[in-house]
Amino acid sequence: MENVATDENWKTCFSQLAPGLLLFARQWARSTADAEDIVQEAFVKIWRRNHNIANRGLLYATVRSIALDVLRRDSRRARRESAAVSESDQMVQPMFEVEDESQRALVAALDLLPDEQREVLVMKIWNDLTFAEIASALEISQNTAASRYRYALAALKKNFPFA
């Protein structure tokens, strides 16, 4: 990975990380296509700066940074276009492949979580990051990351009717 990245290297890495990364980016994106753009930009950015793609803390921090930039840009644009397009007109795309009512309720409970708890949960459950990596990506302490994770699970347990 010094100066040459083979297809196999990054494709293998990408295929493993892409679903979780997409879900992570989807928290701030209004559509799956926007989330894919964010992931794409993050991959290119990491690659251009010669960073190791295996540095997951940096990778998720990059995705988060780009997503927040896009969110700010889109917020400004949305304010400008608010007269023309209302939020209700926008298509809401699912973040999970829901199979039954139980999972649908779980997704609904996830949507109720505060952003800071949900992003820790997404990184931990669907991206298998350690608390150290989560702390690195979010620039918080490991204890804070662990606390947010526990609060998220507690809230889900409380709000999830099938538990």
Binding residues for another protein, per CB under 8 A? Answer: 3-7, 10-11, 14-15, 18-20, 22-23, 26, 32-33, 36-37, 39-41, 43-44, 47-48, 50, 69-70, 73, 93-98, 102-103, 106-107, 121, 125-126, 150, 153-154, 156-157, 160, 162-163
Please answer whether residues 131 and 146 qualify as being in contact, where contact means their C-beta atoms are separated by less than 8 angstroms: yes
Positive/negative CA dihedral, 156, 92, 69, 61: positive
- The answer to whether 24 touches 123, Cβ cutoff 8 Å, is yes
Which contacts qualify for 111-116: CB closer than 8 Å, 24 or more apart?
A: 112/155, 112/159, 113/152, 113/155, 113/156, 115/27, 116/148
